[in-house]
Each structure stands twice: as structure tokens, then as C-alpha cells.
Amino acid sequence: MSTPQGAAPAEQPKNSKRTRMMLLLALVIIIAAVGYGFYYFSYARFHEDTDDAYVNGNVVQITPQVVGTVIAVNADDTQTVQVGQPVVMLDAADSKIALQQAEATLAQTVRQVRTLYVNNNAYQADVQQRQADVSRAQDDLKRRLAVAQTGAVSLEEISHAKDAVKVAQAALIASEQNLASNRALTERTTIAQHPNVLAAAAKVRDAYLNYARNTLPAPVTGYVAKRSVQVGQRVSPGTPLMAVVPLNGVWIDANFKEVQLKNMRIGQPAELTADVYGNSVVFHGKVVGFSAGTGSAFSLLPAQNATGNWIKVVQRLPVRIELDPKELEAHPLRIGLSMQVNVETKETNGGELGNAKNTTYETDVFAKYGEQADAEIARVIAENTGSTSLATK
């Protein structure tokens, strides 16, 4: 069969077009490969990212330290409270009575101890009087002995004089023992530092703390969450009443795959975005620590892989990222929000575990209770001492 004339010229443009398309496709693939290679070696290999990241923070529980009935709740969910602000009030009637009884006992003890110091002077005066009695009795005996040879004094009278000296000396010894006994109760101490006063003061301090603890202050500044307490509720120590969340100190727990952790170190910078703000707001932070175990290791029911049908699953390790406080103040985050995290791993000088800095959380809202108790004790002691000189004598 002969080929029709004109067929070859028609196929030639078609093959030429296909060749150009293939060359163009090959060129695009080469450009893409070169571009990806440049992107990988200049950027991607120095960055690890994950969208399995969430905002985390401290949830400070408000719990009572004494048994009581709630008479006031001064904050509710979503509201803010300042550090030291009283958020829950308990009925303080019983503890107030106990405090008054302890203060009365302290006042009585101070007066009793004050009497001991006053008795020192009385016993000292009694000793001086007994010494004078002994001296007088001895002089009487000497005079009688001096005239005994003349017969002016009888032997019976001399005997009575000797007995009088003995009686006076015995009275002096008893008086000196009373003085020594009283001084043993008062020497090297003051009224305020006397053991009896300190014991009574400790009971006042205990009663005052129980009274003061009927007011529950906010340990930190933050937002109220999980309020469960109600007015009239009878609560006991340790009962969760509400929580305060300080949103100015939140952090990010980013769960990276174990294969992403090879070059990740403490101190490396990170960029983060939150779903709540979108990509228009970029947070900056740094890696501050790695968890001591994977999420599955600390789960309620850890996986048991000692089975015949075991399948390997890539584990994820929580990495803590600290945020810039100024950016956090400008764009607040809430606990539990989703985040996207990108960590730059170019610098690998930092450590993985040993370089993590220790964090200290503390509050001084309860310290004033002890200071107020000491002031109350000082007031009771001063009112019952009578004078400043006796309190420090």
C-alpha cells in the first residue's frame, strides 16, 4: 500500500510540538528541583515545624486552709482578679471566739510573768531585812556574852539569844532560796521572751492564722476559671473552689516528631502563629526545655508494645517554647489554643536537657498573715506589761 502524499509533512509539526512540550516539562522539573534544592539547603534543613502545638499555662487553684461556710464569692468565671484580692470569704465567727480566748490567755500569762519580775525586788528586800535581823540577833548575843561574867545576864537569857540568832539565820537562808528560785524563772529573758509568754503567744498565732484564713486571696493576678464554689457551701481544707489563670505567663507545648529532634537545642529561636489570629500575627519565642518523656509514656494508659502484631508508631516529644512577653501582652493567648511552630535549628550550641533554666513560682499574699499575727501578739503584750522597762527587763 502506498502512503498518501502530504501525510509526512502533517506528522512532522505534531512531533515537533510534542518534543517542545517534553523539553519544556523537563526544564520545569529541573528548575523545580534546583529551586527545591536551593530552598532545602539554604532554609528547610535548618527549620523544623509542627502544627501539633498548644498554649499551656499555670492553673492556680483556690483552696481553703480551714473548715468553714462560704458567706461571699467576689469573682466569677471570665473575670479578672488582682493578686491579694479577697475572692472567697468564710464565716469567721468560731475562729474569732477562739482568737479572743487565746488573746485573753496571753494577757493573763503576761501579767503572771510580770509578777515574777516584780517579786524579784520583793524577795531582794526580804533578804535584806533577814540580813538585818541576823545582824541584830548576833549583836544582842555578843552584848549578853560580854556581861555574862558579871552575873547581870542569866544563862537562860543567853540561850534564848543564841536561839534567836539561829532563827534569824534560818529565815535568811529561806529568803535567799526564795529569791534564787524566783530569779531562776526570770533571769536571761524578758517578759516578751519568757517561755510561758512564748507558749501563749504561739496559741494566739495559731488562732489568728485560723481566723485570717477565712479570707481567701488570689495568689496571682489572672482570669477566674472553673468556679464551683457557692454561697452557703460548707468547705473543708483542700476543696477546689475556683482557679486563677495568669495569662501573662503562658507558654507553648509543641509536640515534635522524634525524627525532628536531632538538631533541636535549648535557646533556638522560633516563630509561631495562632489560629485565633491567623498568619497576620507572628509570635517570636525560643526553646526553653524538652519533656523527660514522650506523650504516650505519660498517658493514663501507656502503650504496651510487647505483642506479636506490633506496629511502629512515630512518637512525639513535647518541647516547651517561651514567648516574647511584649508580643503576648499585645496579643493575649488562652490556654488550649492551637499554634503553628517553626523552630530554626541552625545554631546547635545549646544543650538538650542540662541547660534548661529552673523556674520559680511564688506568692507573698499569705506572708502578711504571719506579720499581722506578730503585730497582734506585740499589742497584747504591750498592753499587759504596764511599762516598756518591764517588757525588756
Same domain, 87 and 98: no
- 153 and 223 assigned to the same domain: no
Same domain, 120 and 132: yes
* pLDDT tens per residue, range 298-338: 777 776 666 667 777 888 999 999 999 999 999 999 999 99
Q: What is the pLDDT of residue 306?
A: 64
Q: Is the pLDDT of residue 104 over 80?
A: yes
Q: How far is Cα 322 from Cα 339, in angstroms, rounded to an integer?
A: 13
Predicted pLDDT of residue 43: 64
Closest by Cα among 174, 193, 171 to 182: 174
Q: Count of domains in the chain?
A: 2
* CATH classification of the domain holding 74: 2.40.50.100
Whether the pLDDT of residue 184 is over 60: the answer is: yes
Which has more pLDDT, 43 or 368?
368
Q: Say if 172 falls within a structural domain.
A: yes
Q: Judge if 83 and 192 occupy the same domain.
A: no
| Maximal C-alpha separation, the chain | 192
Same domain membership, residue 207 and residue 109: yes
Query: In whole numbers, what is the pLDDT of the chain averaged over residues?
Result: 85
Residue range 62-75: mean pLDDT, rounded:
95
In tens, the pLDDT along 4-55 reads: 555 555 566 667 878 888 888 888 888 888 877 876 676 667 889 999 999 9
Confidence label for 103 from pLDDT (cuts 50, 70 and 90): very high
Domain boundary among 245, 262, 292: 245
- Candidates 249, 245, 209; CA nearest to 226 is 245
Q: Within a domain: residue 53?
A: no
pLDDT for the residue numbered 339? 94
Pair (165, 224) in one structural domain: no
Whether residues 111 and 153 fall in one domain: yes
Q: Are residues 141 and 196 in the same domain?
A: yes
Q: Is the pLDDT of residue 99 over 80?
A: yes
Weakest mean pLDDT among 65-69, 244-248, 354-358: 354-358
CATH code at 118? Answer: 1.10.287
Q: Is residue 293 part of a domain?
A: no
Using 50, 70 and 90 to split pLDDT, how confident is the model at 389?
very low
- pLDDT at res. 54: 96
184-196 average pLDDT score = 84
Percent with pLDDT over 90 in the chain: 46
pLDDT of residue 177: 84
Residue 75 within a domain: yes
In a domain, residue 241? The reply is yes
Q: Please check whether residues 201 and 238 belong to one and the same domain.
A: no
The reported pLDDT for the residue numbered 1 is: 46
At 317 the three-state DSSP class reads strand
Does residue 132 carry a pLDDT above 80? yes
Mean predicted confidence (pLDDT) in 179-201 = 84
Please indicate, yes or no, if residue 23 is contained in any of the structural domains: no
Mean pLDDT calculated for residue range 188-214: 92
Residue 69 has pLDDT above 80, yes or no: yes
Task: Name which residue leads in pLDDT, 348 or 272.
Answer: 272
Average confidence (pLDDT) over 197-207: 95
Q: Looking at the structure, do residues 206 and 137 belong to the same domain, yes or no?
A: yes
Query: Which pLDDT score, from 0 to 100, does residue 32 have?
Result: 86
Structure confidence at residue 39 (pLDDT) = 67
Report yes or no on 65 lying in a domain: yes
Counting Cα atoms < 13 Å in the Cβ hemisphere of 277 gives 17
Full DSSP string of 217-265: E-SSSEEEE-----TT-EE-TT---EEEE-GGG-EEEEEEEGGG-TT--
- Is the CB of residue 241 less than 8 Å from the CB of residue 221? no
* Residue 232 belongs to domain spanning: 60-91+214-245
Q: What is the pLDDT of residues 226-274, one digit of tens each?
A: 999 999 999 999 999 999 999 988 999 999 999 998 889 998 999 999 9
Residue with cell 488562732: 207
Where residue 388 falls among pLDDT bands split at 50, 70, 90?
A: very low
One domain, residues 232 and 84: yes
Domain assignment present for 275: no
Q: What is the mean pLDDT of residues 375-392?
A: 76
Q: Does residue 201 share a domain with residue 98?
A: yes
Q: Which of 194, 229, 245 is the last residue of a domain?
A: 245
Contacts with 253 (C-beta within 8 Å, 6 or more apart), sequence order: 53, 54, 56, 318, 319, 320, 321
